[in-house]
Amino acid sequence: MIETAQTVCVAAPIGSVWNHVKDIRNWARLMPGLQDCTIIDGNDSRWVLKVGVGAMVRTVKVAVHVDQWDGPGRVLFSFKLQGDPVTGEGCYLAMPREDDTTNIQLSLQVSGTGPMAPMWEAMGGPLLPKFARAFAEQRAGGIEEAAGLAPRSQPTRMSWMASLSATLSKILRRLTGWRPAQASEARGQS
């Protein structure tokens, strides 16, 4: 099993954060690499993502199930890659801060299953923290935008981007370029 936990601070109170988080469509809209999202109901959805693995980009289909909506502080969910022997669990935590901002933490645990589990976990190891971080960052930005705050400053984003490999940066730049279409698609299909 490989796991990661990434925390970012959102410049919004926990109530505003929860208003955004409680709608699964907002999760999909901010997922890095999202190509398509089908909302089945309030708890189940199917996501199609493009994920950078080393120097290649792979399209994966993910079935996501929310196990527990425990707002405003916690959401538990699980997921399974369709066609690949990979499953996982995740936890979203929101913690209010004294300055009326909110720390949100995204924890992911991913497990390969079957005889090739070590390979899947080896390949996913370097990827998972970057992916979770990217999602948490985009999530925070999306919440702030929905709360009417100015977009996250470019230096903050660039500072974070600079810490990643250029490969991922390039992929993210591409994904950033796709975001408006993704959001539109996600809304349209929900």
Partner 1 sequence: MSVLRNLPEKWDAEVDIVAIGSGAGGLSAAITAHELGASALVIEKSDQVGGVTALSMGEVWVAGNHLASEAGIADSADEGYRYLQTLSMGYGNDLTVLNKVVHARHALKFFEEKIGLRMEVIKGCPDYYYKANPHGISEGRMLEAVPFPAAELGEWQGRTRLSPQMPYGMTHADIFDAGGSANLMKWDFGKMAERLARDERCLGPGLAAYFVKGALDRGIPLWTEASAEELIADGVRVVGARVRRDGQNVFVKANKGVVVAVSSYERRQDYNRTLGTQIDLGSMVFSSIDGANFRLAGPLGARIAKVPDITSLGFTIPGEEDEEGGPLWRTALGALGQPHTIVVNRQGKRFGNESFYRSFYYEVDRIDGGNQTHPNFPCWVILDSQGREKYPFISITPDQDWPEGFGVVADTLADLARMTGIDAAGLDETVARFNGYAEAGEDSEFGRGSHPWSGWMCGDPFHKPNANLGTLRNGPFYAVELKRMGGTAIPSTGLLTDHHSRVVGWDDAPIEGLYAAGNSVARMETGAVMQSGVSNARGMTYGWLAARHACGDPSPLLQQEAIRLGVI
Decide if residue 150 touches partner 1 (CB under 8 A). no
What burial letters (b/e) apply to 16-41, b meaning 16+ CB within 10 Å? bbbbbbeebebbbbbbbbbbebebee
Q: Please tell me whether residue 148 binds partner 1 under the rule CB under 8 A.
A: no
Q: Half-sphere exposure of residue 172, counting CA atoms within 13 Å on the CB side?
A: 23
| 83 touching partner 1, by CB under 8 A | yes
Nearest approach, Cβ of 151 to partner 1 (angstroms)? 25
What is the distance between the alpha carbons of residues 94 and 171, in angstroms, rounded to a whole number? Answer: 28
Binder among 41, 55, 99, 148 for partner 1 (CB under 8 A):
55
- In the shown chain, the binding pattern of residues 123 to 142 toward partner 1, with x for contact by CB under 8 A and - for none, equals x-xx----------------
The residue within the footprint of partner 1, chosen from 119, 158, 159, 184 (CB under 8 A), is: 119
93 within 8 A of 10, measured Cβ to Cβ: no
Angstrom distances, CA of residue 115 to CA of 5, 24, 63, 120, 150: 27, 33, 22, 10, 48
Distance CA 162, CA 23 (A): 31
CB of 122 to partner 1, least distance (A): 4
54: contact with partner 1 by CB under 8 A = yes
Is residue 42 close enough to count as binding partner 1 by CB under 8 A?
A: no
Tell me: cis bond preceding 129? Omega within 30 of 0 counts: no
Minimum distance from residue 175 beta carbon to partner 1 (Å): 11
Footprint of partner 1 on this chain (CB under 8 A)? 50, 54-60, 82-85, 113-116, 118-119, 121-123, 125-126, 164-171, 174
